[in-house]
Amino acid sequence: MTAPQPLAPGEIGTWAAPGRVNLIGEHLDYVGGPVMPIALDLRTTVKVRRRDDGRVRVWSGISDRSVEFGADTTPGDVKGWARYVAGTVWALAQSGHRTGGADLVVSSDVPLGAGLSSSAALECGVAVALAGAEGWEIDPITLALTCQRGENEYVGAPTGSMDQLASLCGEKGHALMIETAPTPPSVRAVPAHWVEDGYALVVVDTQAKHSLATGEYGVRRAQTEELGELLGVDRLASAPPDAVLKVDDPVLKARLRHVITETQRVRSAARALSSRDWAQFGQLMSASHASLRDDYEVSAPELDLTVETAMENGALGARMTGGGFGGSAIALVEADRVEAVGEAVAAAFARVDFTAPRTFVVAPADGATRLS
């Protein structure tokens, strides 16, 4: 394979990276468990032009001001939305790929803060744009871990690797079966045929953005670390089912029960996906939601109402997706029920004065790619 050609001086290249929804396997990517996301047909586009002065300047459609920083930026330099970009520049430099400078123009149709991972779409879009502009050849899994490092250590969000892996490795028509441990993670694309079989995957962006999200996410991570120490395992997702008997604290016991049962559900869901058993797949989605609501306690009233209403209106299964405390839920429904489910959820939200949700259908799309 020939090495990619860097952009010539003044030349503009365009790359894009998608958001994702996770079908099942929630809060497992930081305990070494399996996850099953798809990349979305919603994406963040990054136009890039090289600079030779060691400076990076970035514009985004969400802000009327550009942000400029050095290619040698370190954590703490850049605040606000541009820290996701600076974090990617920093993490790439840490792995030996320091940009000589770049102008970056970002636009996105991934809703921000909706649990569809606009953050990973931005990081991965910037990463593939810089790699393309400089002619760096970096495999997608390494690049995903680099973007995750930027989000963890520069932005300060303690997320796992799923979002970046989905954004970079997505495949049209396929779900991704990701084993997040051992390192490096492995990603296998599995054909996902629900559309051919007459079903649709509906996303309900509940518009709820809970202030708890980041802090509580960190608390869950800390609790899983405590459990790992208590049980003497470094991958909590591989703890045997009877490990729950060894935990006395009721909160920690419930957290562990989620990790163990969710891991089993992903395994079962992989089989259901392969055998096109959508009723079974749906049941696993709903069981995942109950576990996230009751044992892991990361749901929100808007998510619970969406799931409940979707199920009452004929969904095969429904669950919150992403970190929780707001954001989006997904439901697997018969294709001709999409509108009815959307209307029922909107009506249920109106009855209790929740902000009107946004409902749309998604299908598995390709991961990050060059557009021009």
Chain residues binding Mg ion by CB under 5 A are: 117, 119
DSSP state of 30: T
Among 73, 118, 161, 206, binds ligand ADP (CB under 6 A): 118
How far apart CA 181 and CA 250 sit, in angstroms, is 27
CB-based contacts of 58: which residues, under 8 Å, 6+ apart? Answer: 66, 67, 68, 82, 85, 103, 104, 105, 106, 126
State the sign of the Cα–Cα–Cα–Cα dihedral 171, 174, 180, 185: negative
Q: Which is nearer to Mg ion, 81 or 360 (CB)?
A: 81
Q: Which stretch binds ligand ADP (CB under 6 A): 106-114, 301-309, 347-355, 356-364?
A: 106-114
Give the total of residues touching ligand ADP (CB under 6 A): 18
Please list the active-site residues.
Answer: 163
- By C-alpha distance, which of 63, 54, 55 is closest to 82? 63
Angle, alpha carbons 23-28-31 (nearest 5°): 165
Q: Which does 32 bind (CB under 5 to 8 A by kind): Mg ion, ligand ADP, none?
A: none
If DSSP states are collapsed to H, E and C, what string results for 285-345? HHHHHHHHHHCCCCCCHHHHHHHHHHHHCCCCEEEEECCCCEEEEEEEEEHHHHHHHHHHH
Q: Which of 22, 117, 164, 288 binds ligand ADP (CB under 6 A)?
A: 117
SS3 353: coil
Nearer residue to ligand ADP within complex by CB, 32 or 125: 125
Instruction: Please identify, among the stretches 46-54, 108-116, 180-188, 269-277, the one whose residues bind ligand ADP according to the rule CB under 6 A.
Output: 108-116
Residue 119 touching ligand ADP (CB under 6 A): yes
115 binds ligand ADP (CB under 6 A): yes
Q: Report the residue number, 38 or 133, with the smaller CB distance to Mg ion.
A: 38
Q: Is 309 in the site for ligand ADP (CB under 6 A)?
A: no
Instruction: Decide: 144 and 164 in contact? Cβ < 8 Å.
Output: yes
Q: Given the complex with ligand ADP, which of 116 and 273 has the nearer CB atom?
A: 116
Q: Does 81 bind ligand ADP (CB under 6 A)?
A: yes
* Among 60, 167, 180, 309, interactor with ligand ADP by CB under 6 A: 60
Backbone angles phi, psi at 328, to 5 degrees: -115, 155
Among 73, 108, 148, 223, binds ligand ADP (CB under 6 A): 108
Q: Judged by CB under 6 A, does residue 46 bind ligand ADP?
A: no
The minimum distance between CB 209 and ligand ADP, in angstroms, equals 8
Residue 113 contacts ligand ADP per CB under 6 A: yes
> Could you tell me which residues are beta bridge partners of residue 50?
102
Half-sphere exposure of 232 (CA within 13 A, CB side): 1
Closer residue to ligand ADP, CB minimum distance, 44 or 263: 44
Per CB under 6 A, residues contacting ligand ADP are: 44, 60, 62, 81, 84, 106, 108, 112-119, 122, 322, 327
